[in-house]
């Protein structure tokens, strides 16, 4: 198995990557949304949005 970013030889301390730099590049891609886990059905996304909106509590009037 080679580094998924640059195809270099993996180092044990940052496995499966070859360096901390490649590990950080991969993390940045996940955090920016460049990677995504595929869904089997489009309604999964709609349902997730609905559940997130339902879980969000609208702030009430501010009390002092």
Question: Is the model's pLDDT at 21 over the cut of 90?
Answer: yes
39-55: pLDDT as tens digits: 676 667 778 788 888 88
Compute φ and ψ for 53, nearest 5 degrees.
Answer: -65, -40
Q: What is the pLDDT of residue 57?
A: 64
Confidence band, pLDDT 50/70/90 cuts, at residue 29: very high
């Amino acid at each position: 198995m080679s580094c998924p970013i640059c195809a270099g030889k993996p180092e044990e301390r940052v496995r499966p990557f070859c360096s901390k730099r490649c590990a950080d590049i991969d993390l940045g891609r996940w955090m920016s949304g460049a990677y995504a886990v595929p869904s089997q059905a489009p309604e999964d996304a709609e349902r997730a949005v609905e559940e997130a909106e339902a879980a969000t509590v609208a702030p009430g009037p501010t009390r002092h």
